A and B are shown apart, each in its own frame.
Chain A
Amino acid sequence: MKLKKDDVTQLGILSRLTIDERTISDVTSRLENVLRLVDQLQTADTENIEPMAHPQQDFQTLRKDEITEKNDQKAFQKLSKDICNDLYLVPKVIE
């Protein structure tokens, strides 16, 4: 699998990761190596094989739709750098 520089830039955008222009060729070549490894999957005959998403895919534990945890908003918001009136502050989105 050959990746173009633009592919990697686009991946960075989708992943919300700034990729430094100086490292992009290294990043690209290492990603290509990993994709070469995973391309070995194509040798497997998987016709009529169900995908296995999970070791317990035959069941899903459900619980009653009831509130079981108390609201710890204050404790959790202490972890943020920027809080105002119980709201998380982010850079201005709409001018």
Chain B
Amino acid sequence: MHDMSIASQILGLKKREFSSVELTLHYLGRIKRLNPIFNALITVTEEQALESAKRADETLSGNIYNELCGIPVVHKDIFCTRGVKTSCGSKMLHNFVPPYDATVVENLSQAGTVMLGKANMDEFAMGSSNETSFYGPVKNPWDITRVPGGSSGGSAAAVAARMTPAATATDTGGSIRQPAALCGVTGLKPTYGLVSRWGMIAFASSLDQGGPIARTAEDCAILLNTMASYDHRDSTSLKFQEKDYRDEINRSISGCRIGIPREYFSNSLSPSVEATVFKALGVLTDLGAILVDVSLPNTKLSVPAYYVIAPAEASANLARFDGIRFGHRCENPQSLEDLYCRTRAEGFGEEVQRRILIGTYCLSAGYHDAYYKKAQQVRHLIKQDFTEAFSKVDVVASPTCPAPAFKFGEKSDDPVKMYLEDIYTIATNLAGLPGMSIPCGFVDRNPIGLQLIGNYLQEARILNIAHCMQKETDWHNSAPKEHS
């Protein structure tokens, strides 16, 4: 059952080939066996899952149900789940049990999905390797000596290892697409505002966006149908025309113009990744798509702009963790100041502290214009680059990452080296555009991702192109053999 896509599982449940309880037990069995190896989940909600599965089976025996009813799902531990620990990968929230569900969790739960557990992640979503998690790093199912990417490394690894057919994730600078690429699965970061941020623990509010990780583009479309919603509780939630993201998924891509940004194929790109990506693009041209040279000249400034804007927003968002109302509190504080400072120094890991310090620096008197205002102006230039590109093409395609998954410890001593891992994904967040990563081949048996970037609210178009490619190829069906 674990080799089936969500679309096939939906049919299986409908035809009564198996029940949701059977499906859930199957995945729980795999989690029990595989999680000690991969460390993809922080919390397993076995009892709750079986209760939900029973309820789903009852609903499925009637005539009215959502198509996701009875499908198991794992939530990234950044989404608040009522009565279930939500740690955000941090010691700071090690004891935090929210009294409410995030909108994303609520939407999927109302649709009848079965929560299997909470996925491991980089602490407060700050990282590209999952090495910053308080709960230890997630291992890449394709090679356990390598990182799964981050910050949604637990979500991507759990889908890759077939511990769940679906996972929720978030993307602030590439945190859905990069781990999806490194783990050989499909991940979609929607247009900023399409998926509610309510109940999603904030990192950088003008960049954060939730989305799905699954095996196929079609499965991501099915999940997005339920995850995307206007939410009055999120002031940046978009009022959009609701649609079924599968409606146009089989549309012909003949004549579709795919922009190839020359700056993304530069010296920093591994030659073997470049060759793999161009081979995959060949599948699209065989289907009638046309490759068009485009320029995104400010790409090189996306990482510097991001590492001003994201830490600045993080330093403000993370000010709420003061040890008073919830979360970790230091022992025997001598004063209120001591309580704040020691609680935060004990509760936050090194990378989170570094980003708070950078953000505070960039926002401090005398530096605001030189850093923060300048970064916001560069953000505007990056957005203009995309506007110009989308006047010539329907989508933009590129590698998701410059190289395959790297070894643990390879970049953890050098923050700047780690930050450059997201060189191809960050600009999409700065502009607020939708982007996805789909498996497009292997280099030395490590998965490679192809990134597709669409214009605002053009998720259906990139899902369509991704699905057409997946109908012609088999990379998304490949699974890590060693621990299968």
Contacts and interface: CB of A to CB of B under 8 A. Distances in A.
Interface stretch (B26-34, B280-288, B378-386): B378-386
Given A18-B342, A46-B377, A60-B235, A80 B305 contact: no
Contacts of A80: 324-326
Contacts of B408: none
A39 B375 CA distance: 10
A79 to B, nearest CB: 4
B344 A34 contact: no
Select the residue from A8, A37, A55, A81 with max chain B CB neighbours within 10 A.
A55
A46 B238 CA distance: 29
Chain B contact residues: helix, strand, loop or mixed? helix
Interface string A12-45: 1011111110000001001101111111111110
Contact of B339 (A38, A46, A90): A90
Chain A contact residues: helix, strand, loop or mixed? loop
Contact of B236 (A8, A11, A61): A61
Select the residue from A62, A77, A79, A82 with max chain B CB neighbours within 10 A.
A79
B358 A31 contact: yes
A75 interface: yes
B232 interface: yes
B334 interface: yes
Select the residue from B97, B329, B345 with max chain A CB neighbours within 10 A.
B345
Contact of A19 (B319, B345, B361, B432): B345
B315 A15 contact: yes
A88 B329 CA distance: 13
A93 B358 CA distance: 29
Given A51-B377, A60-B235, A61-B236, A34 B358 contact: yes
Contacts of A77: 325
B308 A49 contact: no
B206 to A, nearest CB: 5
Contact of A44 (B319, B360, B378): B378
Given A17-B345, A31-B357, A31-B358, A91 B192 contact: no
Interface in B304-342: 304-305, 307-308, 315, 319, 322, 324-327, 329, 333-342
Pairs of residues from A and B, 7 with the lowest C-beta to C-beta distance, nearest first? A55-B432, A51-B376, A46-B377, A79-B326, A52-B380, A75-B99, A18-B345
Given A31-B358, A76-B326, A80-B325, 5 more contacts: A16-B322, A17-B345, A61-B237, A68-B232, A75-B99
14 contacts: A15-B356, A16-B322, A33-B415, A37-B304, A38-B304, A38-B371, A46-B377, A49-B381, A55-B432, A62-B235, A79-B326, A88-B325, A90-B339, A91-B333
